[in-house]
Chain A
């Protein structure tokens, strides 16, 4: 496996699939969706060996494995560098898995312009995988921005009634954040080399290598660190999204087609948190510590605010969207606990959130396909006509609110341990968020599934078909796996988290 550029293969298989699709006639939608799903499945299968071949005990920078390196733009020192550590490994696997599921979920939901749809979805896969694999900050940035374009189209063409507004808002928000982030990257780049006016540089060769930036992090003067941190923060915080940068999220989520929402919640938001754990924390330890109260404060506000707004929603999809704001607040809080349990829990919770929120969007999408409404008030008593659906929905609900034996519990509990060790009352406030989470999720569940089946239109609803079960069951199994036996995941995370924590210096 040493000589095979396995990461590049996993990254570009979807791109290749998209290019092939360009030459398929658009009048063959059945073939197109089978082919595209096949490509996604192939990509997922190709990514599985990574899990087995990954050396969990490699410490420090050695944890970055499957490295690939090639010259790219020598004049500015940007290189084509791929590699993943344990954190990226989990996110890559999450991306390829959710990829397959979201493709499967689109079969019926997307009835127009299938060819373009699947081309964009495949391009999006490549963009996201590249973000997690890149070990060169410039390459990272290219992937980070590239994937905005297909996502824009997914929301903007196949979205709901306000798709135009939601798509451009998503694009403008995230683009504005990323370009400011770019300035931060450039400052870092010049500091490592010749320096900036007012900050004599370190005189190293021009490079965008992430490991090199990790290396010099502690040498950057504190005031420069704070500036760079803030520049990166805008980019990452909008993506996460942290309060008060979250306003694009409900619009984008509600208007996006189901697959778009799944990928948006499951993977895209993780790119923001991934940015913090990969760049901000290890490269800018002084600034991280200096701004810690602000970061934790925004995270806690996000947890509570997201949960309270979710409680007030009448639209299921919007409810799930706001719950994401709350859950991502947990992840951020865990990261900024700056200790082993906090970061471990945060990364695991990134995966958990991808699984459970992805599944929630899939579930909402299923009912929307049948009834073309997402209003909670239009439902009630569904458990009588759709028992399988109700059962799966319940499991995912429990996973989302953090019931023991399911994945959410493990993540949230670990985060709370970390937060408690840092500042005890952070954990107390965040704990309140869990209670609120249980409240809005269970309340929604109750209103949709229990009570009398009053609405006549819900009488004849069909339960799940094989395809729908097929794409939900893997998520449910994973939720139980992580909930009951999280050890393999923590094993993978142990070394990379130790590395990050040692860099930021707890």
Chain B
């Protein structure tokens, strides 16, 4: 029997999952809860979870393993959980008007968001390969449904189906990798695994490389790294736009959390083996993500490729495997959360109905019609490119610094060159907004206050992260993981 105290430390996850289940239940009774009410309930449960998370942080200042060492509470986990909560809250703000206009039942939608997020919270704390896998599946199953939430739309269906089939395949591969590692080492618990893989690979056990390569493939699929990215553009384009934002930000960040946890804590002892593979994947992801984005005309699809490219930048920090490398990943993903959410928020705002209004040409003349919206989009695009004074710039500097310091200069060179290339496609939108005249002259109606507020929050955060990074660095530092064994 567990110490009941330990369940208190699991309260944020329990709370969020219960809120999701409650919404689901209430949603089925009669006409269910309305869109706005469901959103308010979801937001309120996120706030409560955040407060609870803070309480957990206060009671566990250091690092604590609970439930027979299957669940960890440390600064690293708390940090990712906070990012997930922020991203989920922003997603809900992005969704309210969108769901209203789409006319689907809303309560289930928010319930699924909460359930996916509770899976992400668990991911951040998972300390055995199996808890991590279960948490990952919780997130993934909810995400598949979310991607296909517009059930009467072919594109949404296509997205869900592709996501589900490829996702299930990758989960299977992941699980197979886990089983091989278990066969080689006799454990799935991360710190025992570290010792086990070291010993087994010293003995030349071939199950170890096979196991971790399969495991890594599954993880690369989740973060949409080349060559496991094929699903991302179709899913991102087909899914309802707030869901796309959610997948691009929350799902990706949480997946990076487990990727780092597994690589650093579970496989840290064989860093010398995996670093080259991760470096190659990072380079391929940056190059292919950016080159493929160059030719996209659909803004959602372009942002999908851009989010692939950004996974490549983050992998630089993972390869660097130093203190500064880890901070840089954390800082970058924090900045990326606000930047990407803001950019997708503008896409949501400009989408007139369902899928209309998402090509570059729909942005024509925006600077004349709605100068402040255009200016905010410029901030996000400048940040995505990595130009100061934005969080995107500072995050990239940090990543490249980590690479230079650790001797991965060639990766940093690939990173800076591809960043320069990315300017071309990001600024295509700027060209449309500022340098193309439009037949339409009316300002974009700002009839969704929550959405506009979310965009403004993201814009301010993007600038603050670039101009005054110090407090955020301190936050990122609190998320520092003991990089043992490397």
Contact = CB atoms under 8 A, between A and B. Distances in A.
B435 A179 contact: no
B449 interface: no
A450 to B, nearest CB: 40
A156 B417 contact: no
A72 B470 CA distance: 7
B404 A175 contact: no
B404 A172 contact: no
A80 to B, nearest CB: 11
Interface residue SS majority, chain B: helix
Interface residues of A, number: 37
Contacts of A180: 413, 416-417
Contacts of A157: 434-435
Contacts of A153: 434
A182 B367 CA distance: 32
Contacts of A149: 378, 382, 387
A460 interface: no
Contact of B417 (A167, A176, A198): A176
A3 to B, nearest CB: 24
B357 interface: no
A148 B393 CA distance: 14
B382 A168 contact: no
Interface stretch (B54-62, B419-427, B452-460): B419-427
A187 B403 CA distance: 10
Given A73-B473, A179-B416, A180-B413, A156 B401 contact: no
B400 interface: yes
Contacts of B393: 142, 145
A197 B401 contact: no
Interface in B380-402: 382, 385-389, 393, 397-398, 400-401
Given A149-B387, A171-B427, A198 B367 contact: no
A190 interface: yes
A186 B417 contact: no
A194 interface: yes
A103 to B, nearest CB: 21
B404 A190 contact: yes
A164 interface: yes
A336 interface: no
B405 interface: yes
Given A73-B473, A179-B416, A146 B367 contact: no
A142 B388 contact: yes
Dominant SS among interface residues on chain A: helix
B41 interface: no
B400 A73 contact: no
B434 A196 contact: no
B261 interface: no
Contact of B423 (A172, A190, A197): A172
B470 A73 contact: yes
Contact of B388 (A146, A156, A172, A194): A146
A47 to B, nearest CB: 23
Given A172-B424, A186-B400, A196-B407, A145 B419 contact: no
B8 to A, nearest CB: 34
Nearest to A138: B397
Nearest to B387: A145
A247 B237 CA distance: 38
Given A175-B420, A186-B400, 12 more contacts: A75-B474, A148-B387, A168-B424, A175-B387, A176-B420, A179-B417, A180-B413, A183-B400, A183-B416, A186-B405, A190-B405, A197-B406
Interface of B: 367-368, 371, 378, 382, 385-389, 393, 397-398, 400-401, 404-407, 409, 412-413, 416-417, 419-421, 423-424, 427, 431, 434-435, 469-470, 473-474, 477
20 contacts: A73-B470, A75-B473, A113-B368, A142-B388, A142-B389, A149-B382, A168-B424, A175-B423, A176-B420, A179-B417, A180-B413, A180-B417, A183-B400, A183-B412, A183-B413, A186-B401, A190-B404, A190-B405, A196-B407, A197-B406
| Leading 5 A-B pairs by shortest Cβ distance | A197-B407, A179-B416, A176-B420, A142-B388, A186-B404
